[in-house]
Amino acid sequence: MSIDMAQFHQVFFEESFEGLAVMESGLLNLDMGDVDSEEINTIFRAAHSIKGGSGTFGFNAVADFTHLMETLLDEMRDGRRQVTQAAVDVLLGSVDCLTEMLTAIQAEDELDEGSVNNHKKALEVELNGESATETPVEVVPIASAPIATESDAERGWKIAFCPHTDLLKTGNDPVRMFRELAELGNLDVFVDMQGVPSLVDLNPEDCHLSWTLLLKGDIERSDIDDIFDWVEDECDLSILPLTEEVELETIIEIAEAETAAKATPVESVKVVAAETVKTDNAETKAASTKAKKPKAATSSSIRVDTSKIDTLINMVGELVITQSMLSLVGEHFSIDKVDQLKTGLIQLERHTRELQESVMNIRMMPISFVFSRFPRLAHDLSSKLDKKIELKLVGEHTEVDKTVVELISDPLVHLVRNSLDHGIEMPADRVAAGKPETGTVTLEAYHRGGNIVIEVKDDGKGLDKESLRKKAVEKGLIEESTILTDKQTYELIFMAGFSTAEQLTDVSGRGVGMDVVRRNIQALGGTIEIISELGVGSTMAIHLPLTLAILDGQSIAVGDATYIVPLGSIVESVKITDDMVNRVAGKGETFRLRNEYLPIVRMHEIFHVESAKATNLMEGLLVVVEGQGVRCGLFVDDLLGQQQVVIKSLEANYRRVEGVSSATILGDGSVALILDIPGLVRLSNQ
């Protein structure tokens, strides 16, 4: 009987990607010159496992490639070869190549043979010396196309650029990239509009276009890589040397596409940076996917400690026993069994709560799944910026919900990049300021109450309040007479359209705005705050709920409706008197709480709910809540009680509502809205 090996593929891929992460981490920790046999053994074992598994499943290209890596690692392990930076760089590039190969095989796509061959040559050069190949081979990032000769580079490059749909939502702008490409040489831009939906289905925040770019001139490949550096995970990208044959082939294909489209002509689009702009061909997307595969889908599986499974099984057993007891009571119920019924219901409540906690505990993953990507990021970026940077990871075993782990990754990447690029000074500047030559960036995670706090700290130059304020005034974001606290001044960087280009320079001249970062964190139900001291450093602190499935909330009554306020947002509830209230014509109401004046948000008016108490503040209660560091008072009829609620997405089942984050189903079957406290605070400020 034959065995279908495909059923084991998913496990192989998951274990292989874990092994690649181990290899990358180990390579980054190697000391130059010294042979740490244990560290190299760990790397070697990971490579050996990947080679063995790929050979078993018939992925011979992966097995052959990994064999070369094994040979190099084996020589290091036996002491026949010293650990050098060149060898580590080659091995890191090979890890990238293996990742790309496995991703392509998993997605059933073709391998990028050019990239694989380049990395193979680089390994052979490192193993056998320069004599192994006629010309030196440069190790390029995995996204790169085959290395061009000098004559090819002088001719230029053909770039197939197909953004993913969400590219614009991350704050990136293709036109700005084209403008920078045009500064490098003579740029022709061909746009493909075949992916644009009809006007009825068009979402203006989605990107439906793709482009073919012909960039002519004596241009280094690295200059092009710099421009696309920030979007390499948000697009399909192919960069090929532009020869006369390639250019002619492209022009012919574009002409054929234009001829085929005569029945439905495509409007020409002018791009600011280009000298000549024409309608596009249908080949862009196909070419780009050959050179760079789409991002692998998020893994739907999760590894769980067997002790957690045992606890869950025990809880289910207890629940079954309680259910059996209640069934017996129900079959022969009499009034004298009321006490027994109450006892059973109490046990049922306790076991259900414990079962819920056990199930939620299974979804918890260590934050190290996110933190593990940053040592490589710091290694590559510090080399690129000519800075000396030490990255410290603290609390990487702190557990958080799997969904939070998956969604917090991108915001953290932007914050860490900002610290590495903008925060840490150049070595000479640090020495002149009396600091160590090596800067330190610390990623720390810890639990605080029902939240997880993730901090990105650096000992760099900090934020200049005066410069921030001046830039905000120049941009027209605030009035010159506006009085701001330190906290409000720092939060200017979260305003859309705010730029610190004069004070802070990005690695490649582009970047995702901090307003997008904060919006992504708020989408997770979290907040971000800044602590900074000029010349000392900055801390970006992210506060997130431990899980996105369960919420501890306070039920409030507004008229006949019930709403849920997240318990972590509540400061206190107060009964106010008339002398505590201040009314400002056209500006709303405030009340004084311990020498602090807070705005009053009348919930009846926000949600258009009728109530007899709506007009008299003295008859209801004020629930003082805090969101994004700002407080306000929610005027409600009454407090009903605290409870854990299961979060249901409102947008997925209805649509977005200002001031509401999600919904839940109460015990009586009715639906209660869960309030978005930062959104209500914004409404109160308006």
CA distance 537 to 514: 18
By the 8 A CB rule, do 387 and 393 touch? Answer: no
CA distance 365 to 358: 13
CA distance 223 to 232: 14
Query: The tokens of 356 are what?
Result: 């819920």
Within its chain, how far is the Cα of 116 from the centroid? 28
> Is 418 marked active-site?
yes
Residue of 26, 241, 225, 72 lying closest to 140 (CA atoms): 225
Contacting residues for 522 by C-beta, under 8 A, at least 6 apart: 678
> Is 128 marked active-site?
no
CA distance 126 to 144: 20
The helix/strand/coil state of 214 is strand
Cα atoms in the 13 Å half-sphere on the side-chain side of 252:
6
Kindly name the residue from 14, 15, 48, 117 that is annotated as catalytic: 48
Within its chain, how far is the Cα of 415 from the centroid? 10
Kindly name the residue from 14, 15, 70, 396 that is annotated as catalytic: 70
By the 8 A CB rule, do 426 and 442 touch? Answer: no
260 — phi, psi (to 5°)?
Answer: -65, -25
CA distance 213 to 565: 52
CA distance 195 to 286: 13
Assign 3-class secondary structure to 427-494.
HHHHHHCCCCCCEEEEEEEEEECCEEEEEEEECCCCCCHHHHHHHHHHCCCCCCCCCCCHHHHHHHHH
Cα atoms in the 13 Å half-sphere on the side-chain side of 584:
9
CA distance 255 to 212: 13
Listed in order, strand segments (DSSP E) in 4-163 are 156-163
Contacting residues for 230 by C-beta, under 8 A, at least 6 apart: 172, 508, 510, 511, 512
Kindly name the residue from 118, 172, 281, 418 that is annotated as catalytic: 418
Burial class (CB in 10 A: 0-12, 13-18, 19+), 128: exposed
Sign of CA dihedral 617, 618, 623, 624: positive
Residue of 185, 276, 285 lying closest to 227 (CA atoms): 185
Query: The tokens of 146 are what?
Result: 């085959």
Query: The tokens of 572 are what?
Result: 């206190």
> Is 451 marked active-site?
no
Q: Which amino acid is at 132?
A: A
Contacting residues for 633 by C-beta, under 8 A, at least 6 apart: 574, 591, 593, 598, 599, 600, 601, 622, 623, 624, 625
Residues carrying an active site annotation:
48, 70, 418
